Amino acid sequence: MNRGARVLVVGQGAREHALAWALSRSPHVAQVFVAPGNAGTIKEPNVLNIPLAPDQVDAIARYSREQHIDLVVIGPEAPLVGGLVDRLDQQGTAAVGPTQSLARLEGSKIYCKRFCEAHDIPTAAARIHTDLHSALQDIANHDGPLVIKASGLCGGKGVVVAQTRSEAEGAAHVLFSLPATREGLIIETCIQGWETSYIVLAHGTTYRAWPAAQDHKRLLAGDRGPNTGGMGALSPSPRMTPALEARICKSIIEPTLAALEQAQTPYRGFLYAGIMVDKQGDPYLLEFNCRLGDPEAQVLIFRLESDLYEILDAGARGHLDAHTPHWIRDPALAVVLASSGYPGPGPAGEPISGLEATEGPFVKVFHAGTRLGPTGPLTDGGRVLSITATGTTIDRARQRAYASIEQIAFVGMQYRKDIGLAGIS
């Protein structure tokens, strides 16, 4: 590393803003590029937005080669499933993320379920259906709540927790009409308990665990309403214990990395286990993602004390042993401000006001669905901003985040008012 590194972040959400922000602060990094970024990334020093969409994998690989990019950090799942890392490998560009065949763990829930069954990874009992008729028969034969999941990528919106038979039937009808259900649908037993996101950065069977985080997947306060990509996050996860972490690593993370290494090339990048801890305290895998979570990334990166570039570069090149990442003790919390209509389609192009007054050493606004208009940032649909704050307690972090939100306005703004509340004791 004689000259400063040139790093390309792929994606346009608040997770990618957080990655670009932290990378741009590293003394090892000369320039961060974001493809395509948003109105927040464009304002960070040493960060440049590139007009390439995350699924333009050939164009991103070519850009990386022509611009002598040293490290590509891939935020969302689509470019991983689309084979971006395979193309970067072919040309010798280092990348944080698994190859296409390994990214099937996230890209196909049916593949993931079969993988868990083959390798004794604890997960909910499930049946796989490739047609609506057999799914409806299955629903008719089971009482109690069921979880209905499209197999393919659905932006966090392909999972329905159905409390009643008619909800389950409705979900099967809707999901079978989506392209993400081309390969089929999974119906699984609903495990009751509490959820946590457990994310590790891995290279082969070597990994570094990041602190557990708590997502808030439902749209509305009190965990009501439809599933979304995530309406808020909290880290550390208040109910996580060292003993439970050890169990998650031993029964889920380690056997997974070992099985992947035997079967194919070593896994490289983030492995995010969505975990349900049941009433007996036993952890079960709900799903794997092959990337950082969003909004989990915002709280994890805001708490990170160590140099993110050193950590990611070590993950990409297989030197994870040489770096022990450190996080501040204080908890962090992120509240997502979304457009009206989210998680469905909604309006865009609304001016956002009040951002100037909000930031300080304990509060950071990460942009997601924003673009720069002639007079300032405009909404661009979906999740718009992640207001991220730390404090000596969760309550203090909450007060800071919500005090900042009072300054911010755009037409149709919706957010949950209870982020982190379940974690305050």
| Interacting residues of 344 by C-beta distance below 8 A, sequence separation 6+ | none
Candidates 49-57, 289-297, 311-319, 356-364 — which segment interacts with ligand GLY by CB under 6 A?
Answer: 289-297
Q: Which is nearer to ligand GLY, 275 or 355 (CB)?
A: 275
| 76 binds ligand GLY, rule: CB under 6 A | no
| 156 binds ligand GLY, rule: CB under 6 A | yes
Q: Which is nearer to ligand GLY, 156 or 346 (CB)?
A: 156
Distance CA 122, CA 3 (A): 46
Candidates 59-67, 203-211, 293-301, 330-338 — which segment interacts with ligand GLY by CB under 6 A?
Answer: 293-301
Q: Which is nearer to ligand GLY, 30 or 220 (CB)?
A: 220
The single-letter code of the amino acid at 140 is A
Q: Which is nearer to ligand GLY, 274 or 315 (CB)?
A: 274
Interface with ligand GLY (CB under 6 A), residue from 49, 214, 237, 289:
289
Structure tokens at 94: 């280092």
Q: Is 326 exposed, middle or buried (0-12, 13-18, 19+ CB in 10 A)?
A: exposed
Distance CA 124, CA 146 (A): 11
Q: Which is nearer to ligand GLY, 158 or 325 (CB)?
A: 158
Name the residue among 269, 321, 273, 327 with its Cα closest to residue 301.
327
Distance of closest approach, residue 175 Cβ to ligand GLY, in angstroms:
17
| 70 binds ligand GLY, rule: CB under 6 A | no
Neighbouring C-beta atoms of residue 399, cutoff 10 Å: 14
| 214 binds ligand GLY, rule: CB under 6 A | no
Asked if residue 419 lies in contact with residue 234, where contact means CB atoms within 8 angstroms, the answer is yes
Interface with ligand GLY (CB under 6 A), residue from 13, 107, 293, 423:
293
Count interface residues toward ligand GLY (CB under 6 A): 8
Name the residue among 88, 16, 68 with its Cα closest to residue 47.
16
Distance CA 370, CA 384 (A): 6
| 107 binds ligand GLY, rule: CB under 6 A | no
Q: Is 3 exposed, middle or buried (0-12, 13-18, 19+ CB in 10 A)?
A: exposed
| 230 binds ligand GLY, rule: CB under 6 A | yes
Q: Which is nearer to ligand GLY, 61 or 191 (CB)?
A: 191
Rounded CA Rg of the chain: 20
> What is the full DSSP assignment across 313-343?
HHHHHT-GGG----B-SS-EEEEEEE-TTTT
| 382 binds ligand GLY, rule: CB under 6 A | no
| 296 binds ligand GLY, rule: CB under 6 A | yes
Distance CA 201, CA 316 (A): 9
Q: Which is nearer to ligand GLY, 40 or 75 (CB)?
A: 75
Q: Which is nearer to ligand GLY, 94 or 415 (CB)?
A: 415
Task: Say how many Å lie between the first and final Cα of the chain, rounded.
Answer: 46
Distance of closest approach, residue 213 Cβ to ligand GLY, in angstroms:
9
| Local structure of 135: helix, strand or coil | helix
Distance of closest approach, residue 381 Cβ to ligand GLY, in angstroms:
18
Candidates 48-56, 97-105, 127-135, 287-295 — which segment interacts with ligand GLY by CB under 6 A?
Answer: 287-295
Interface with ligand GLY (CB under 6 A): 156, 215, 229-230, 289, 293-294, 296
